[in-house]
Chain A
């Protein structure tokens, strides 16, 4: 049943195969194009997102860094403050200790050889301060003899210096365990001048504190702000 020019079944099959192959080729080419384009868009999108996210991360990191920095600053400041306080405390303790020891040492003075001369000077001071015709001197019982002797010389010096005379009475009323010295009073005890060794030490303490500080801890304006504290170096 073959007309001239007609194709055999095989040939028809062959032609169809060719056409199928052709269509398939075209389709695959187009799908490749689509894929390439899709890959491009993906790459662009990805780059954009990466950029956005890394910016966000940078910002977050910056924020955290600032927070950490602030936190560090705070704790540094706190540490500094507490150490300053400690230093101040230590100094104070040291001074307290100093005065305590001084107080003890003072008690020895009374048994020293300068005590008699000192008493004389104390009494003179009292008289000059009170400038009263009658003065009562309170003293330790064990100093009675020393006091009598000292009073004599003090009183004559007083008369020389001030041109006045003073009648002195004695009162062994200071406790024996006090460090020594005298307390002068007049007008029936209404005016008192305390010239005991303890009192003198107290006055010394108040007046000399700045110099003491400077001598002990170095010149820094007594203000604990400078980090370069030189009191630890022995130059002073």
Chain B
């Protein structure tokens, strides 16, 4: 890779935690008795020498040292992390690394990236990840921040075995109660999700995602929302995640709520960008929800506002055009089948369209050995969602109306008739109504 290309990748993601900075300052003000540790043979004389010479200089003047001896210091810090266990030493080294990385990111970050050797192929990450298992708050937080910066900017693949401990550590904090810790974890997650390698792993790590969603639902703070949303947005670039996110986590509903309530542009920006990805990467899976959440209406109303950001306008236009276009498609039989498949029945135009039922009613019972009608009856029996029940009941009625007597037999065979009668006593009024209408059709002597 050419030098210029590497430089471009070197934009470390922003990190904001006054809490953590505060702790760093506190640690810096407590000097570590390195000579003492040298006598105890925990560190070597050379190492102490390096440590002392850097500590003598104020922060602003350290970059010259790093320019000449940077590699040595990088190696020093990682080696120290590898062998030291004592909390105060680990804290001090972590702070030192952070200071080094912030003082001159362009030069110092690559120094850490190139620390991997035959003897220690997982460097620099191995020793840092080790700190995550320490029972001390700063060790964890400090490491996460450093890992975020290094991973986001590294072009080499991250050692596969270290991914799990890292994600577990993040997800613990995301599901915890302390806000400052949540914030560090969320930002670290956002940093590593920039790398494709992590997206698959995070998608599999359900606790991480649910931690983010919990915060979105409960914490109205825009900055926290932004951090959760960025991670979700980056995940949505991956096809698998885009396909499953809504089904698993009902994310489109959540996103729409957030967007409606949002006052900060960047929050809305993230929501819209995520929705766009969901639509692009996995249209079939996400269209039903997009429809029921009335996303098109939301998009239209958002388009009326003035935005200072080009990209959000771009995304809104895209969403608007795509959704409108798809609405036509939503009356076709295949879309109907996929809606059935997803189990999320909604009052899309299809269900009420006379033409649709005239054309396709029979297919429901005939194609694929009646898979369609089977699924419909199954939903009728198993779904707990009143909306789904209402739509399913109505659909069964439509089916019987279009096909005739034979359909009545099919439905009765599958236990649909019994269930329909049951549903006439359901809590939800709409369900009762639809069930009643369909029972009429099922019972009547004329089609």
Residue of B16, B230, B237 near A33 (CB, 8 A) is B230
Decide: B194 and A29 in contact? CB cutoff 8 A: no
Decide: B230 and A28 in contact? CB cutoff 8 A: no
Decide: B14 and A29 in contact? CB cutoff 8 A: yes
Residue of B11, B196, B269, B309 near A43 (CB, 8 A) is B196
Decide: B234 and A29 in contact? CB cutoff 8 A: no
Decide: A40 and B16 in contact? CB cutoff 8 A: no
State the Cβ distance, A195 to closest chain B Cβ, in Å: 97
Query: How many chain-A residues does the 8 Å CB contact rule pick out?
Result: 14
In whole angstroms, how far apart are the Cα atoms of A17 and B105 in the complex?
22
With A36-B194, A43-B196 given, is the CB distance from A29 to B226 under 8 Å? yes
With A33-B230, A39-B194, A43-B196 given, is the CB distance from A26 to B11 under 8 Å? no
In whole angstroms, how far apart are the Cα atoms of A41 and B21 in the complex?
35
- Name which residue of chain B comes closest to A21, CB basis: B16
Q: Tell me the residues in window 180-197 of chain A with beta carbons closer than 8 Å to chain B beta carbons.
A: none
Decide: B266 and A29 in contact? CB cutoff 8 A: yes
Q: Does A104 contact B (CB under 8 A)?
A: no
- Name which residue of chain A comes closest to B152, CB basis: A32
Q: A25-B14, A28-B13 are in contact. List 6 more A-B contacts (CB 8 A).
A: A30-B309, A32-B13, A32-B14, A32-B230, A36-B233, A43-B196
Decide: B230 and A31 in contact? CB cutoff 8 A: no
Q: Does A35 contact B (CB under 8 A)?
A: yes
Tell which of B13, B230, B309 has the most Cβ of chain A within 10 Å: B13
> A residues bordering B, Cβ < 8 Å?
25-26, 28-33, 35-37, 39-40, 43
> B residues bordering A, Cβ < 8 Å?
11, 13-14, 16, 194, 196, 226, 230, 233-234, 237, 266, 269, 273, 309, 311
Residue of A28, A36, A39, A43 near B14 (CB, 8 A) is A28
Decide: A32 and B226 in contact? CB cutoff 8 A: no
Q: For A30, what are the chain B residues with a Cβ–Cβ distance below 8 Å? A: 266, 309
With A29-B226, A29-B266 given, is the CB distance from A35 to B14 under 8 Å? no
Q: For B237, what are the chain A residues with a Cβ–Cβ distance below 8 Å? A: 40
Q: What are 13 pairs between A and B in contact, CB < 8 Å? A: A25-B14, A28-B13, A29-B226, A29-B230, A30-B309, A32-B11, A32-B230, A33-B230, A33-B273, A36-B233, A36-B234, A40-B237, A43-B196
Decide: A25 and B16 in contact? CB cutoff 8 A: yes
Decide: B13 and A26 in contact? CB cutoff 8 A: no
State the Cβ distance, B18 to closest chain A Cβ, in Å: 10
In whole angstroms, how far apart are the Cα atoms of A32 and B187 in the complex?
12
Decide: A31 and B194 in contact? CB cutoff 8 A: no
Helix, strand, loop or mixed for chain B's interface?
A: helix
- Name which residue of chain B comes closest to A27, CB basis: B14
Q: For B11, what are the chain A residues with a Cβ–Cβ distance below 8 Å? A: 31-32, 35
Residue of B230, B233, B266 near A26 (CB, 8 A) is B266
Tell which of A31, A36, A39, A43 has the most Cβ of chain B within 10 Å: A36
Q: For A26, what are the chain B residues with a Cβ–Cβ distance below 8 Å? A: 266
Tell which of B14, B16, B194, B273 has the most Cβ of chain A within 10 Å: B14
Helix, strand, loop or mixed for chain A's interface?
A: helix
In whole angstroms, how far apart are the Cα atoms of A35 and B311 in the complex?
13
State the Cβ distance, A78 to closest chain B Cβ, in Å: 51
4 smallest A-B Cβ distances: which pairs?
A28-B14, A32-B13, A40-B237, A36-B194
State the Cβ distance, A33 to closest chain B Cβ, in Å: 7
- Name which residue of chain A comes closest to B273, CB basis: A33
In whole angstroms, how far apart are the Cα atoms of A39 and B266 in the complex?
20
Q: For B196, what are the chain A residues with a Cβ–Cβ distance below 8 Å? A: 43
State the Cβ distance, A34 to closest chain B Cβ, in Å: 8
State the Cβ distance, B337 to closest chain A Cβ, in Å: 29
- Name which residue of chain B comes closest to A24, CB basis: B14
- Name which residue of chain B comes closest to A29, CB basis: B14
Q: For A40, what are the chain B residues with a Cβ–Cβ distance below 8 Å? A: 237
State the Cβ distance, A43 to closest chain B Cβ, in Å: 7
Q: For A39, what are the chain B residues with a Cβ–Cβ distance below 8 Å? A: 194
In whole angstroms, how far apart are the Cα atoms of A85 and B230 in the complex?
80
In whole angstroms, how far apart are the Cα atoms of A28 and B234 in the complex?
16
In whole angstroms, how far apart are the Cα atoms of A29 and B237 in the complex?
18
- Name which residue of chain B comes closest to A40, CB basis: B237
Q: For B226, what are the chain A residues with a Cβ–Cβ distance below 8 Å? A: 29
In whole angstroms, how far apart are the Cα atoms of A43 and B11 in the complex?
18
State the Cβ distance, A230 to closest chain B Cβ, in Å: 64
Q: For A37, what are the chain B residues with a Cβ–Cβ distance below 8 Å? A: 311
State the Cβ distance, A196 to closest chain B Cβ, in Å: 95
State the Cβ distance, A41 to closest chain B Cβ, in Å: 10
In whole angstroms, how far apart are the Cα atoms of A29 and B194 in the complex?
13
State the Cβ distance, B21 to closest chain A Cβ, in Å: 12
Q: For B233, what are the chain A residues with a Cβ–Cβ distance below 8 Å? A: 36
In whole angstroms, how far apart are the Cα atoms of A28 and B13 in the complex?
7
State the Cβ distance, B152 to closest chain A Cβ, in Å: 9
State the Cβ distance, B222 to closest chain A Cβ, in Å: 11
Q: For A35, what are the chain B residues with a Cβ–Cβ distance below 8 Å? A: 11, 194
State the Cβ distance, B402 to closest chain A Cβ, in Å: 44
In whole angstroms, how far apart are the Cα atoms of A40 and B14 in the complex?
19
In whole angstroms, how far apart are the Cα atoms of A26 and B308 in the complex?
13
State the Cβ distance, A39 to closest chain B Cβ, in Å: 7
In whole angstroms, how far apart are the Cα atoms of A7 and B354 in the complex?
71
Q: For A25, what are the chain B residues with a Cβ–Cβ distance below 8 Å? A: 14, 16
Q: For B14, what are the chain A residues with a Cβ–Cβ distance below 8 Å? A: 25, 28-29, 32
- Name which residue of chain B comes closest to A34, CB basis: B311
State the Cβ distance, A40 to closest chain B Cβ, in Å: 5
State the Cβ distance, B1 to closest chain A Cβ, in Å: 13
